[in-house]
Amino acid sequence: MAQDGQKFPGVTSPISLAYPKPFDNELSEKLEETLRPHGVFESEEELNHRMEVLLKINTLVKDWIKDVSRQKNNIPESKIDTFGGKVFTFGSYRLGVHTKGADIDTLCVAPRHVERHDFFKSFYDLLKQQSEVKNLRPVEEAFVPVIKMEFDGIELDMLFARLAFPTITEDIDLRELSLLRNLDEKSVRSLNGCRVTDEILHLVPNKENFRMTLRGVKLWAKKKGIYSNSLGYLGGVSWAMLVARVCQLYPNSAPATLLHKFFMVFSKWDWPNPVLLKPLETDNKLGFPIWDPRVNPSDRFHLFPIITPAYPQQNSTYNVTNSTRFTIMDEFQEGLAVVNRIYEGKGEWSQLFEPSNFFQKYKHYIVLVARAEEENHYLEWYGFVESKIRLLVGNLERNPFVRLAHIMPESFGPLNETESKFMCKWFVGLSFHSTQSSNIDLTYDIQSFSDIVHKQAIHLGLFKDDMKVEISYVKRKQLEQFVPLEIIQRGGKPVKEKKRESTKGESNSSSNLRRVSTEKPALSGSKSESDLVKQSSVTDDEASQESQMVSQNAASASPEVENMQCDSTDSTATDQQNKNSQVELGSPMQVDEKSSSQTDEKITAQEIAPVSKHAQRLPSNDLPDLISPQPMSQTAGFQLTKNSIKLKLK
């Protein structure tokens, strides 16, 4: 609370109420000029076209609800118009930060007599009759059921929620908690997108500064390859909540200052303390599952918790892994260094948005190829395989020799005409521990992922005979066989892999990346950084102050979180040492890409890398067999390709 009695949103008081100086405003104007060429702003004509499309969709929904009402209710025609119905927007469009050509997330809200089955049957049939609609795809069995389409050139994702009200009025407020009473979980999940978006906007002190800062953060995250919820990074909502938290801490600051504080605060954040925009609910009146480490033991092992502000509160980043957290924190550090130079007059905003040097960063890569012969099969297979890639990253992380498995969210199509037309490639950069020369066998990690993908695709009835997944190892100098040279050269010359300094506590663990640590990430202080912080009238202690304040709030809301640590690596250290002692010393790296023999394919439980307690959590319903996948049965009607990847490091 400010001295004049003014209240500010957030779990703590603001760190600084200082207003921007002329220098801050000048940098903010330069920031906006830098963002414009990247297509983060739409023209007035494009905005008007989006509004016209939404108006047409809203009219279609109202007409459809009238038709359903006529079929289900014996009521006079004069009352048909009273049932209402409405289309809401959420996501980047609702936040006001959508980019050119971006899709629009929408929600169809209907009265209680209109059911989900009607939405995916009669409304789907209605959409098929519209000349403006293309690429119409219903996904009724998804965790959040959705109809995807392209309406008059604009991509739309439409969810459905059936409220327990006889009518839907135009002035209905979806933030009201009473709306969730007597709803099924799918409707609650569908409503949550709108509720979270509206709550975020309600909790930021200056919406325009919030939007400009968020545009910069989203562009930076996409350029650096850390923008993807499904692959274990952060999605749009998570980045919005981080920016909103910084806006709460510096409510009067200009966008340039907020962007600087964003990197300063979160590069020093004491993870896994959660990021909260408002205090956690102490009373779960409606009984829906919420993020609460006091009640749910699995919540205590989340690595990067960012909690949605609307009930039921959820961790929007439960997919974050050890490797993706390390990658994000590394980018925070580099982003802070760049903004420091900008404030010192030694750099430009364009340097912050330079693309990632992913293909120059590592010596070893895993390439994952998904292909199909028919286009409709490929589109379905592409989305399914992409949603499972985090399982491959998890398998690689649990290998005792792998220090980091860095997945690049961007996928790449065929390199030339000799490759299949319907195919895409993802790349995982590998960094290994600094050990003596050793043999590294990734066969089990790769094969178990392939087994899970095929097994679940068959179980869902999605698999077709032309769908293939191929996984192979490549060196950096071999990347030209998979992606264009200009892509490989993005971000500059090859760099040496970063080696973390060994710590006293690291001798008892295979890796700091293999445990959930409550220690603050090691930060490198510099004179220039200190000088910069002085120029902005905020010291580094303020970031620590914020972490301490949040820690106190987190402790009061969930006292079991503060001292929660995962000590499973200590209990398995002996096992790992025994395993490592059996590894043969080898010559410089060699790769056996041939099919392994039957003897090599038999992997006993003792040969599997020790699994930490963190790995035992189940972040979603589709990962029940992630830890110890069973071999695929050959009754599925196809022969599964065996992948053998063995490395010899020196």
Residues with catalytic roles: 92, 103, 105, 157, 218, 227
464: left (phi over 0), alpha (psi -120 to 50) or beta: beta
- Which residue in 232, 607, 647 sits closest to 448, CA to CA? 607
CA distances to 302, 398, 408, 438, 449 from 393, in Å = 16, 9, 11, 21, 9
Query: What does the block give as tokens for 70?
Result: 């006529």
Give me 647's structure tokens. 């490395």
Q: How many angstroms separate the Cα of 467 from the Cα of each of 20, 90, 381, 415, 485? A: 56, 34, 7, 19, 28
H/E stretch holding 389: helix 375-397
Only one residue has tokens 């398998």, namely: 395
Which candidate, 258, 324, 332, 328, places its Cα nearest to that of 523? 332
Phi, psi angle pair for 167, to nearest 5°: -135, 155
Peptide bond into 484 cis (omega under 30): no
As given in the structure block, the two tokens for residue 323 are 């490797």
3-state secondary structure of 398: coil
Residue with tokens 């500059």: 492
Give the three-state DSSP class for 440: strand
* 348 phi and psi angles, rounded to 5 deg: -125, 160
Angle at 78 between CA 107 and CA 159, to 5 degrees: 10
Q: How far apart are CA 343 and CA 561, in angstroms?
A: 37
For 461-488, give one letter per residue: b (16+ CB within 10 A) or e. eebeeebbbebbbbebeebeebbeeebb
In the structure encoding, which two tokens stand for residue 528, read together?
A: 């220039």
Please name which of 243, 238, 204 lies closest in space to residue 91, comparing C-alpha atoms.
238
Tokens representing residue 309 in the block: 């502000």
| Cα–Cα dist 250/18, whole Å | 8
Residues in the chain: 650
Phi/psi for 568 (5° steps) reads -70, -25
Q: How far apart are CA 200 and CA 243, in angstroms?
A: 10
d(CA 21, CA 269): 26
- Cis amide bond preceding 251, omega within 30: no
72-76 own/partner pairs: CB under 8 Å, 24+ apart:
72/113, 73/113
Query: Which tokens belong to 170?
Result: 């135009």
Question: Could you tell me whether strands 154-162 and 104-110 are parallel, antiparallel, or unpaired per DSSP bridges?
Answer: parallel
Locus of tokens 């006529």: 70
